[in-house]
Amino acid sequence: MSAGYFLEREKVGLEDLFKGLVTASHILHSNGIIDAYGHISVRSPDNLATFWMPCNISPALVSSPDDLVEYNVEDVSPVEKNVKPGYLERSIHGEIYKRFPAINSVVHSHCSHVLPYCVSGVPLKPMIHMAGFLGNNVPVWDIASHYPSGSKHDLLVRNTALGASLSATFKPATSAGYIYSKVRSAIPSQIAGAPPRPSHEPDHAVVLMQGHGFTTAAYGIEEAVFQAIYTKEAAKTQTTALTIRNAHFGHIVEGKIDLEGGGKIKSAKVKAEGGLKYLSEKEAHDACEAMQATIARPWALWCREVEVNPLYRNDCPGGED
């Protein structure tokens, strides 16, 4: 993990937080995680009851502290009056911060590579070590049964009630405690803050949203960006693997032929060959743990890529130690 944006205030101030948040928005756009829609937020390092996220603007066009708004975690209301309009779905972020005090950054995305796993019933599972954080069970949250009475049924997380339902999926009441919480508990306290109680640790790093997209929660900006990008890469790999596997092996139908019935096959079973290889629980855990120590490497690359791209502007002043 890199130095991040959650060290003590005298070491990393709000100027660095703002610069990192703008950079993260650009990186997510550059890597196809968000387009004109989608967003990233970060908890305030000196006030855990508030968080920052861009105003209602295309992420690629966020460029200065004037484009950022501070919200109260409790009800996602703006801290200041007369601020720029915000994203409609900021309750996604607020309710995750409310439920999980140790979480400091959230990304919401409609990435097209991940969307098929939000609608097909095919579970998203890690096949590559870079996506070990997914674990063996990525839950799918379906908003359909959670709309408040009289609300719009447009799949948008418009209020805190829907946001609370989504956030609860990161730690289902019946969960036995998935490996994500075990790995995150090993993160240095200067990054994650004071060690939270186990009940405040999410069991899942990523939750898919039926017909909508996905949300990922992390301990810092760099980690949230890493998880968002490699959720996309995991989905691309799995889709390609499923495609070439089915094209190569196809399916074999086995059963008994009913000669008197005109040659129909009865008691037929479809037999598939060439099963896909997913990471085991142990592999996912160990791969996730190993990748935690390397996040600074891709972060530095992604920062440089958006820095030299004329599309992106970051006019936030850098802070001083």
Catalytic residue IDs: 89
Q: In what order do the strands lie in the sheet with 105-109?
A: 68-72, 50-54, 39-43, 105-109, 213-218, 206-209, 140-141
Q: What are phi and psi of 293, to 5 degrees?
A: -80, -5
SS3 50: strand
CA–centroid distance for 193 within its chain: 21
Rg of the chain on CA atoms, in Å: 22
DSSP state for residue 196 in the 8-state scheme: P
The answer to whether the CB of 4 falls within 8 A of the CB of 220 is: yes
Mode of pairing for the β-strands spanning 50-54 and 39-43: antiparallel
Helix axes 296-307, 221-249, angle to 10 degrees: 100
Q: 14 φ, ψ to 5°?
A: -65, -30
d(CA 321, CA 317): 13
Query: If DSSP codes are grouped into helix, strand and coil, which group holds residue 228?
Result: helix
The amino acid sitting at 104 is N
User: CA 210, CA 206: separation in Å to the nearest integer?
Assistant: 13
Evaluate whether 113 touches 31 at the Cβ level (below 8 Å).
no
Residue with tokens 């990304």: 107
CA distance 181 to 94: 20
| H runs (alpha helix) in 195-264 | 221-249
